[in-house]
Amino acid sequence: MMMLSWGVLALLAALGCMGLGIWLLATCRRPVPGGEMPRCGACGYNLTGLDGNYCPECGRKFIDAGVVKASNQRRTSVGRIVLGITLLLAPPELLLLGLFTARSVGASRARAVRAVPSVPPPAADPPGSALPPDPPTDR
């Protein structure tokens, strides 16, 4: 399996944060829950099943106030806006963190390689110190 460097991981995290931030900001205006229920245009009272031409909440005529459906109304989610902006501002910090981590990991690896003592190759046997061959054995 191929190992990714810290810089590449930081770049992928930064791009993911930016993409999520853009999506959150693009979807921060959400429809008001309630489906297709008719509501008073002046006060927002649910008009489902009412008899008459007046809103029981504010007393206005439906012709004057208007009747709206909840799917036409939208609400802004402040939490999505704050989180989206935060995720859009986070990538530079992630990239810097990745670069500093990559440098520190690279430096510690270089120190570890320098810290390993080099082992000299085994010395050749001096002439005449070779062991005599084993005597032949009869079976």
pLDDT exceeds 70 at position 94? yes
**Domain range annotation of the chain:** 8-28+77-107, 32-73
Q: State the pLDDT at residue 4.
A: 67
C-alpha dist (Å) from residue 132 to 55, 123, 128, 129, 137: 117, 20, 10, 9, 15
Contact (Cβ atoms closer than 8 angstroms) between residue 97 and residue 31: no
pLDDT, tens digit, 9 for 90 and up, residues 44-55: 888 888 888 888
pLDDT exceeds 50 at position 1? no
Average the pLDDT over 7-32 and give the result: 83
pLDDT exceeds 60 at position 15? yes
Q: State the pLDDT at residue 30.
A: 75
HEC secondary structure over the chain: CCCCCHHHHHHHHHHHHHHHHHHHHHCCEEECCCCCCEEECCCCCECCCCCCCECCCCCCEHHHHCEEEHHHCEEECHHHHHHHHHHHHCHHHHHHHHHHHHHHHHHHHHHHHHHCCCCCCCCCCCCCCCCCCCCCCCC
Identify the residue with better confidence: 91 or 84. Answer: 84
Contact (Cβ atoms closer than 8 angstroms) between residue 61 and residue 104: no
Q: State the pLDDT at residue 65.
A: 80
When the pLDDT of each residue in the chain is averaged and rounded to a whole number, the result is: 75
CA distance 91 to 97: 10
pTM of the predicted model, to two decimals?
0.46
pLDDT, tens digit, 9 for 90 and up, residues 114-138: 555 566 666 666 666 666 667 777 7
What are the structure tokens assigned to 72, written together?
């036409």
Instruction: Quickly state the pLDDT bin for 139 (edges 50, 70, 90).
Output: low
Q: Give bridge partners of residue 39 from the DSSP assignment.
A: 46, 68
